[in-house]
Chain A
Amino acid sequence: MQWEVVIGLEVHAQLSTESKIFSGASTAFGAAPNAQACAVDIALPGVLPVLNRGAVERAIKFGLAVGAKVARRSVFSRKNYFYPDLPKGYQISQFDLPVVLGGEIPILVDGVEKKVRLTRAHLEEDAGKSLHEDFHGMTGIDLNRAGTPLLEIVSEPDMSSPLEAVAYARELHSLVRYLDICDGNMQEGSFRCDANVSVRRPGGPLGTRREIKNLNSFRFLQQAIEYEIRWQIDTLESGGKIQQATVLFDSDRGETRAMRSKEEAHDYRYFPDPDLLPLEISEAWIEEVGKTLPELPQAKRIRYVSDFGLSAYDAGVLTSSKELAAYFEEVVSIYSDAKVCANWVMGEVNGWLNKAGIEIAKCPISSRALAGLLNRIGDGTISGKIAKEVFEAMWNGEGEADAIIEARGLKQISDSSALEKIVDEIISNNPSQVADYRAGRDKLFAFFVGQAMKATRGQANPAQLSEILKQKLAG
């Protein structure tokens, strides 16, 4: 039987402000428990929230980048519920009047571009953390995270496969980092995804959705949605019904499990927070923020294809992160053959980074050093093959390309008299092969190239060698 999958994502992006959204306490990660919880964060009697303009600025930036409407007036509301790590007994969030409305994110899956529409994005504060270990039957509360600014980005249910959901999440992740509004650190919880998943008959009414909470890696996002789709289809096909529910993904068992069903869900009793005035954003402020927008990934991709002649796929890989794109552009600014640069950055650089499990920011070979190596290929000092050996040495910290080529004596032999002498020797040492070749066995040419490379320890200039061989073997 045929099923259609419907996915919508809610992403919580932690905004990169130094202080919290409603207090002056630091947002830095990793401090001792409660060391970064001030009177406002602890919700002492009598304290009041004051909105951090930096958080609003980041929301505006996001709204402009996705082509959304930035609301001139939005309202902070209280979402009321009791939980030990929610100090005020309510979370300050935006409910019916969010700061960002609409917008879209383009995604590319299997070479096909699709636009995922955004419903809204709103500002809110994060809660603290409950620590259930280490306290022997008690629960510890760490309020360092309480009050950290979040932008909750809600998509329309426009995705129809786990791959599309991952592509959307990656694109969004890349975008918030381009905009420098979120550090994107998923392990530390700076970028968390909730996925709303349902299935339906093609063309039929929407199925009942279940929400998978708190997915903190792209891999888990994909696995969780895949499992959830299978589970929903199995349930429906065996005659069951889907109950609306919130579920958690158990990454060890690769399963989703219901946390609470919506019937027992809270009535959050939202109402406008009387401690905060409505957020008014002037045209001038939007304009000012607009001037700080960097070149966005989509614009970069288009430029890479038109200016550098790269394929859409290559342009997509190179612009997948702001840092990788910057690295590539620095290499191109020194070594102008963009295709060669792209191949090296996507091939050797990315390959070695992946193997080492590190980010481009930590790459031991600077963009300038890589360009230096490419220059030596370009001017014929070394071959592409030798260059890979030099690259490895550079990765291992042996220095710049020129120094390594010098120290290891890897300079290509382009001296034609030297090459001629070597070729002469090979011809005289292999009379039968020469005879066969001259009798028409063209394939033997590779044998002579191999012999010459062996004799020069791979340093012969390949083009020149081939020229000389052809000439001499012709007799």
Chain B
Amino acid sequence: MFNSSLKGLSAQLADRKISSVELTREFLKRVGELNPVLNAFVTVDPEASLDQARIADAMISSGRAGPLTGIPVAQKDIFCAKGWLTTCGSKMLSNFVSPYDAHVIERFNAAGAVNLGKTNMDEFAMGSSNETSFFGPVKNPWDIKAVPGGSSGGSAAAVAARMAPAATGTDTGGSIRQPAALCGISGIKPTYGLVSRYGMIAFASSLDQGGPMAKSAEDLAILLNAMAGFDKRDSTSLERQPEDYARDLEQPLAGLRIGIPKEYFAEGLSADVEKAVQAAISEYEKLGATIVEVSLPNTRLSIPVYYVLAPAEASSNLSRYDGVRYGYRSANYRDLTEMYENSRAEGFGAEVKRRIMVGTYVLSHGYYDAYYMQAQKLRRLIARDFAESFEKCDVIMGPTSPSTAFDLGEKGDDPVQMYLSDIYTIAVNLAGLPGMSIPVGFGDNGRPVGLQIIGNYFSEAKMLNVAHQYQKATDWHGRMPNI
């Protein structure tokens, strides 16, 4: 049952072979068993989950069920959920119970899904290993010495360990795709603007995008159908006709043109990752695809551009955490300035402070043009590389991450090394394009390898089709860690 697809679980619920309450209890039980080891969840509230399961069961009995009705879904703790602690992995919000639902949570509630619990994450989504969480690191279910990736590491580990059939994530520079790759699951970051950011705690507003994480592309399509859609409360949300992201899953891949950017197979890529990715590309050729070489020459600029723009936006987005209205307030202060300083010094972790300082610096008078404005210009060049490539191909493929999961603590002292682990994913956020990761094998150390699929704007249905056809021909996505 724990390895069953969403479609499979849906069918069992519809056929009354199991109720949502029973299903939820089973998963809660597994969470209870595995979480002490993996630390993937920061909050579980069995009563709240079971209340939702009862509502779902009523929907099923009255014939009002959809594909997600009664399905437990783990929610990244960045999504505000009414009545739930919503901490964003930070001491700053360790006492914050949200009085409202994010758009994504509303959508899941309306679909009758069950909130299984809130998953661990890097503090304010700033990190690539889940080690910056105030609630301690998440362990990779494939090897508990390894990181799960970040920032959606809790969601990735939860799905990989089959503690949840599906989860949500958010991706600012790779935070869905990189942990999906490191934990051997599937995840998609949609086109910027497809999923409303309302109620999704902001890290870098122009880059943040929510998306689903699951065992397969087919499951992702069902989840994305629920999550995507216009929301007038988010001014960057795109007003488009709703679409069925599962509609093209069964299309054959004959004639598909796959762009391979040479820059993604250069220095810095581990041999075992390259091998697995090349094997996956060969598999695609067997499925009828043709390979085209493309070039993304400005990819090398994406890390410096990202580490100007994302911290700049973050430094401003995180100003609201001042200890005045909600969240953590220091017990030690004599005046207003001290209250601000001590609340923020004690409430934020080191990585968050580092980024606030970098962001404050690049926006400062006299530096703005040299950093922020320059980075915006380069951002457009990076987007143009992709636009030119998509004239020659339908999707772009390459590794999601330069290596398999690294060990906990391995990169802790060197933020730049840590930042480099997002080298292949960041450019996609800067361009606002959709990107996904699917498992395509294992590295020398037995840890999973992810293939990144990058599509043109709004080509999610196509990308899911491309991923699904591969998953029909292979079984990497069905492998479960021994835990």
Contact = CB atoms under 8 A, between A and B. Distances in A.
Nearest to A39: B100
Interface in A26-56: 39, 42-51
Interface string A247-258: 000000000000
Given A44-B80, A269-B363, A50 B316 contact: no
B236 interface: yes
Contacts of B312: 271
A87 B325 contact: yes
B199 interface: yes
A46 B199 contact: yes
Interface stretch (B9-17, B227-235, B276-284, B472-480): B227-235
B102 interface: yes
B198 A271 contact: no
With a 10 A CB-CB cut-off, give which of A42, A87, A141, A271 has the most chain B CB atoms. Answer: A271
Given A42-B325, A44-B80, A50-B232, A89 B202 contact: no
A78 B202 CA distance: 15
Contacts of A111: none
Interface residues of B, number: 43
B86 interface: yes
B199 A47 contact: yes
A49 B316 CA distance: 14
A47 B312 CA distance: 19
Nearest to A79: B316
Contacts, number: 96
A267 B365 contact: yes
A27 B371 CA distance: 39
B376 to A, nearest CB: 9
Contact of B322 (A42, A46, A82): A82
A287 interface: no
Given A44-B326, A275-B235, A89 B320 contact: yes
Interface in B96-111: 96, 98-100, 102
A72 B303 CA distance: 34
Contacts of B318: 89
Contact of A275 (B88, B205, B232, B365): B205
A334 interface: no
Contacts of A39: 99-100
Nearest to A38: B100
B319 interface: yes
Contacts of B234: 48, 50
B235 A46 contact: no
Contacts of B340: 82
Interface string B308-339: 00001101101110101110000000001000
Interface string A451-463: 0000000000000
B199 A269 contact: no
A348 B359 CA distance: 64
Nearest to A24: B233
B201 interface: yes
A5 B86 CA distance: 57
A141 B324 contact: yes
A344 interface: no
B197 interface: yes
Nearest to B207: A274
Given A80-B363, A269-B363, A271-B372, A46 B202 contact: yes
Interface of B: 79-80, 86, 88, 93, 96, 98-100, 102, 197-202, 204-206, 232-236, 312-313, 315-316, 318-320, 322, 324-326, 336, 340, 360, 363-365, 368, 372
15 contacts: A39-B99, A42-B326, A43-B325, A44-B99, A45-B93, A46-B102, A48-B235, A80-B363, A89-B318, A141-B325, A269-B364, A271-B312, A271-B363, A274-B313, A275-B205
Lowest 8 A-B CB distances belong to which pairs? A89-B319, A269-B363, A274-B206, A274-B205, A46-B199, A43-B320, A45-B201, A46-B80
